[in-house]
Amino acid sequence: MDIFAAVLLSSSLLFLFFVFSDAADSITQSQFISDSNGTTLISKDQGFALGFFSPGNSTNRYLGIWYNKIPGKTVVWVANRGTPITDSSGVLMVNSSGSLVLLGQNLTVAWSANSTKKARNSILQLLDSGNLVLREEKEGNYLWESFNYPSDTWLAGMKLGWDLRIGLERRLTAWKSPDDPSPGELSWGFELYNYPEIVMKKGSKKFFRSGPWNGNFFSGMPELQATLLYNFTFVSNKSEVYFMFEMIEKSATTRAVLNQSQEQYQRYMWIEEKKEWSMFLNLPKDKCDSYNLCGPFGNCIMGEAPVCQCVEGFKHKSLETWNPEEWYKGCERNKKLSCQDKIGFDKFSGLKMPDTTSSLLNETMSLNECRVRCLNNCTCIAYSNSNTRNGGSGCAMWFEDLIDIRQMAANKEDANSQDIYIRMPASEQAAKNKRKMKVIVIIVVAIAVVFGVLLIPYCICRRKNLRDKMENNIMLDQNIELQNEDLEVPFFSLATIAIATNNFSSDNKLGEGGFGLVYKGTLIDGHEIAVKRLSRSSIQGLNEFKNEVMLIAKLQHRNLVRLLGYCIEGDETMLIYEYMPNRSLDSFIFDETRAKVLGWSIRFNIICGIARGLLYLHEDSRLRIIHRDLKASNVLLDSKMNPKISDFGMARHFGGDQTEGNTERVVGTYGYMAPEYAIDGLFSVKSDVFSFGILLLEILSGKKNRGFIRPSQSLNLVAHAWNLWKECRPLELLDTCLEDCCIILEFVRCLRISFLCLQQHHEDRPNMSSVVMMLHSESSLPEPKEPACFIGKRLSLSSKNQSPSTNEITVTLLEAQ
C-alpha cells in the first residue's frame, strides 16, 4: 500500500471516529466501520449493534451483530465465519462499485456480500429487526441483506427456507464451538421434497425431522404454532418455500439457536429481571424425536416399553432374534400385500406424518379423491389430508416404507390433528373389525352394569351440576359488565400476562388449589407478580372470582396481600397479586429444616401481624369481612417475613351492624372451622377467631392440627395441647427448634390466647381487637374453658356436612404444593 493510500485510509478512519460518536445506524460509501477504533453501527431502536468481536477464549476477530441492550454480547450473525482476521486491522466499507466488503490484514478481502445487484449510491444500514441491509440510497431497494445468509440464529421476521427464483437457501448452521463461529456439522433447514419439511442434519445424515406442515403446525413440532406471543407463517409455492415467525408483543425479545454441543434447536426468551436467557423449547425433545429410531412402519411411543411399537397390522421383522437394539430393522406386514389383493385403508390418528422423501402433494384434491387415486395406484402405501384447517383439504400420498413415525400424544384427540390412512389387505381389516367387535361387546356390557350402579347418584349430581352451570353461565354473561365496573384495580391483557409468565411455563408454576394454578410472573418493567389462573375444572367458580376482586380491591392493609389487577379475556380468568418471595407460612412451620429460620421473635411478629390483618377485616375496613378460610397456607410471607393474609374467594362481607350469617354451602378447610359453622353453617367474626386459634396453636407447636394424632392417648393437637396445659406442662408443646430462643412468658400468653379463641361457644371467644390487645399487654388474662374439638367430647357433624366441603383444598398463592 502506497503512502497516499495509507494517509487516505487513516484520514477516513479518523473521520469515522467523529461521525459515529452518536452511534449511527448506517454508513455511506464515504464511511467505514473500523475494528481499531471500536466503531459500531447501532439500530435506531438501540436493539442491535454491528461491530467486531472475539468469541469465547478466541483472539480471532469477526464482524458480527449482537443484542446491544443485553449484557454478555449475544451474537446473532457473523459475516466472516470461516475467514477470521487475526488482528484489529478489520475495516467494513461500501466500495466505489457499491459492494459491501470486509478488509483484513494488508487490505485483503476477508469477506464480501455476494450481491447480484449493483448500485452506484448504496447505503449499509442496520435495521431494528437485526437485519443488515445494503440498499439503494434513493429507491431503498435491498441489494443484499444478512437475513438471507443466517448463521446459527433465527430472528423474528427472518425467512427460513428457499427462494426458488434465484436458488437461494436460507439454512441455519451451528457454530463449531463457543470459540469458533465457523459452520459446524449441525444444520437446520427445508428439504425440497414434493411435500416440504424442516430437517436437522448432522453432516449429511438426517438427525431430526419436523414432519410436513398441516395448515396449523408441522406434524412433528406442535410447539411451533401460533400463540399469544408469536404468529407463524408458512409459504410453499413455485417461487418460495419458507417458514417465518413474528412477535405479537413487540417488547418481548426472543431468538432460536442451533446448538452444536447439545445437538439441539433451542428457543430462548430474555428475562429482564433475571438478566438471563430462559430456554423454553428444545428439539429434539426426547428419544422418539431421533430420526427413524424404530425403522419402517415402527411407531415410537414415549412411555411404552419398549418405546418402539409396530403400527397395527404389522409385526417386528426379526421375531426369532428380537432384542430392543434391533428396532432399526422396523416392522413388516402380518400378511404380505400384492396388487391383486382386495384392499382397504386403516385410519391412524395423532401420528407424526412419515418422512416425505417419497411422497406426492396435490393441494387441489379432496380427501375422497385422494383415497381413489391411492387405491388405484398399487405402489401407494398411504394417504392423508395435507391441510387440516376447516375440515381438511389437499392430498398427500406416500409410495415407499413409512419411516420416522411417532405418536404425538398431545394431538391424538385434537380436531386439527392429521389422520393418515395406511393400505391394508381386506382380510386383515376383517380380522381387525372382528377383534374390535369383541371389545365393543365387552365394553357395552361393562358400561351397562356401571351405568345401572351409578344412575341414582348421577341424577342427584346432575341436578347440582345444572344449578352450578347456570350460575357460571350467568357469570360468563357478566364478564363484559365486570370489566366495565369500577373495581379500583387495573385490567391486564392476556398477552401481557402470557409474556410475564413465559406463556404459563411449567417452570413458573408456584402451586395449585381449588381455584386452579398459580404462576410466578415478571412484568416488562421488572415487577414480580403472582398470577392466579381459574381452570375450567376449578372447584371455585366465577362467583368466587368476582367476590375476591370486589372485596380485595377495597382492602388496603400491610398484613393483607395486595391485588394488583385482574384479567378476563376469552376463556381466561385471572387475578394478579404482588409476589411473595418466601411463599406461605405452612412451608416453614411444618418443615423441620425451614422451621429453624423462624425464631421466636419472627413467629411472634407473624402472630401479631395476622391478628392485625383480621382486626382490619372485622372492624377497620370499609366492609365487615369474614375470611372463612384462614389457615397457614393462606398466610404469605414477604421478603422480610412479614405476614399477609391471602385468598378471599370464600370471604363474605356485611354492612351496618351485621356480624353473622348462615349458609347451606359450607366452604373452607376442615380442621380450621368453628363448630357452629361446620355443623349448622353459622359464620361470624368469631368463626374467624376460632380459625386464628388453630393457626396460633400450629405456629407455637410446629405441628398440623389436621392429621395430628397422639396414638397413646387418641388425642388430636387441640386436645393434646389442652392436656399439657391442665397438667402444667405447656412447654412440652413448644416447637423443638424454639427451645433456645423462646421468651417463655410470651409463649404461655400466646397459648392461653389460643385456648380463649378455641372456646366451643362463639360468645365465649374474644373479638380480634381484644386478641391484639392481649398479645401486646402484660395484664392477666381470663382463664380459658375446655376448648372445642376436645377428643373426649368430640363434636359429631350432621350428615349433611360429613363429607369434605367443596373447598377442602383451597388455592394458596405462592404455595409450592
Rounded CA gap, 549 and 523, in Å?
20
Q: Is the pLDDT of residue 423 over 60?
A: yes
- Listed residues 532, 550, 578: the one ending a domain: 578
- Listed residues 527, 560, 578: the one ending a domain: 578
Q: Is the pLDDT of residue 570 over 60?
A: yes
Please give the average per-residue pLDDT across 404-414, as a whole number. Answer: 68
CATH number, domain with residue 403 = 3.50.4.10
Please give the average per-residue pLDDT across 738-766, as a whole number. Answer: 93
Q: Is the pLDDT of residue 806 over 50?
A: no
Q: Which one-letter DSSP state was computed for residue 804?
A: P
Q: Is the pLDDT of residue 714 over 90?
A: no
Please give the average per-residue pLDDT across 700-724, as a whole number. Answer: 79
How deeply is 308 buried, as exposed, middle or buried, from its count of CB atoms within 10 A (0-12, 13-18, 19+)? Answer: buried
- Average pLDDT of the chain to the nearest whole number: 83
Rounded CA gap, 326 and 319, in Å?
10
- Listed residues 285, 308, 333: the one ending a domain: 285
Rounded CA gap, 630 and 637, in Å?
15
Lowest-pLDDT range of 570-574, 581-585, 682-686, 806-810: 806-810
* Range of the structural domain that residue 143 is part of: 1-149
- Other C-beta atoms closer than 10 Å to the C-beta of 496 total 19
143, 154: one domain = no
525 has catalytic annotation: no
- Pick from 233, 222, 227, 245: which is nearest to 414 by CA? 222
- Pick from 753, 811, 742: which is nearest to 611 by CA? 753
Greater pLDDT, 6 or 144 = 144
599, 666: one domain = yes
CATH number, domain with residue 776 = 1.10.510.10
- Pick from 495, 494, 558, 564: which is nearest to 529 by CA? 564
Lowest-pLDDT range of 173-177, 228-232, 354-358, 545-549: 545-549
Measured CA angle at 595 (ends 594, 597), to 5 deg: 75
- The answer to whether residue 443 is domain-embedded is no
Write down the residue that cell numbers 363484559 correspond to: 480
* pLDDT at position 391: 77
Please give the average per-residue pLDDT across 708-726, as a whole number. Answer: 77
- The answer to whether residue 813 is domain-embedded is no
Find the DSSP H helices in 337-425.
Answer: 367-375
Q: Model's pTM, two decimal places? A: 0.57
Sorting pLDDT into bands at 50, 70 and 90, what band is 814? very low
- Annotated catalytic residue: which of 629, 647, 688, 735? 629
* pLDDT at position 73: 93
SS3 183: strand
For 612, phi then psi, to 5°, come to -65, -40
Q: Is the pLDDT of residue 815 over 90?
A: no
For 727, phi then psi, to 5°, come to -90, 10
CATH number, domain with residue 565 = 3.30.200.20
Please give the average per-residue pLDDT across 368-378, as a whole number. Answer: 93
* pLDDT at position 683: 85
Greater pLDDT, 365 or 657 = 365
Q: Which of 340-349, 350-359, 517-526 has the highest mean pLDDT?
A: 350-359
- The answer to whether residue 1 is domain-embedded is yes
Query: With contact defined as beta carbons under 8 Å apart, do 105 and 118 qualify?
Result: no
- The answer to whether residue 195 is domain-embedded is yes
757, 687: one domain = yes
pLDDT above 70: percentage of residues in the chain: 80
Write down the residue that cell numbers 403446525 correspond to: 217
Rounded CA gap, 788 and 538, in Å?
32
Q: Is the pLDDT of residue 712 over 90?
A: no
- The answer to whether residue 32 is domain-embedded is yes
Angle between helices 717-726 and 685-701 (to 10 degrees): 70
* pLDDT at position 335: 85
30, 163: one domain = no
Greater pLDDT, 94 or 711 = 94
144, 155: one domain = no
94, 59: one domain = yes
395, 417: one domain = yes
* pLDDT at position 2: 45
Pairing relationship of beta strands 32-34 and 91-94 according to DSSP bridges:
antiparallel
Strand order in the sheet with 100-103: 32-34, 91-94, 100-103, 109-112
Annotate 705-741 with b (16+ C-beta within 10 A) or e (fewer).
Answer: beebeeeeeebbbbbbbbbbbeeeebeebbbebbeee
Write down the residue that cell numbers 381487637 correspond to: 769
Q: E strands, 523-608, where?
A: 528-534, 563-569, 572-578
273, 292: one domain = no
Query: With contact defined as beta carbons under 8 Å apart, do 361 and 215 qualify?
Result: no
127, 214: one domain = no
- The answer to whether residue 120 is domain-embedded is yes
Distances (CA, A) of 364 to 347, 367, 369, 396, 508: 22, 10, 10, 11, 44
Q: Is the pLDDT of residue 615 over 70?
A: yes
Q: Is the pLDDT of residue 483 over 60?
A: no
Lowest-pLDDT range of 19-28, 259-268, 325-334, 528-537: 19-28
599, 693: one domain = yes
Sorting pLDDT into bands at 50, 70 and 90, what band is 466? low
Tell how far CA 160 is from the center of its chain: 25
271, 334: one domain = no
pLDDT in tens, 102-131: 999 988 999 999 877 777 788 999 999 999
- The answer to whether residue 811 is domain-embedded is no
Count of domains forming the chain: 5
Tell how far CA 314 is from the center of its chain: 38
CATH number, domain with residue 116 = 2.90.10.10
Q: Is the pLDDT of residue 253 over 60?
A: yes
pLDDT in tens, 500-512: 998 888 889 988 7
735, 759: one domain = yes
- DSSP symbols for 722-740: HHHHHTT-GGGGS-GGGTT
- The answer to whether residue 785 is domain-embedded is yes
* pLDDT at position 324: 58
Q: Is the pLDDT of residue 543 over 90?
A: no
Query: With contact defined as beta carbons under 8 Å apart, do 768 and 696 qualify?
Result: no
Q: Is the pLDDT of residue 485 over 90?
A: no
For 381, phi then psi, to 5°, come to -90, -35
SS3 480: helix
Rounded CA gap, 750 and 272, in Å?
45
* pLDDT at position 707: 66
* pLDDT at position 206: 96
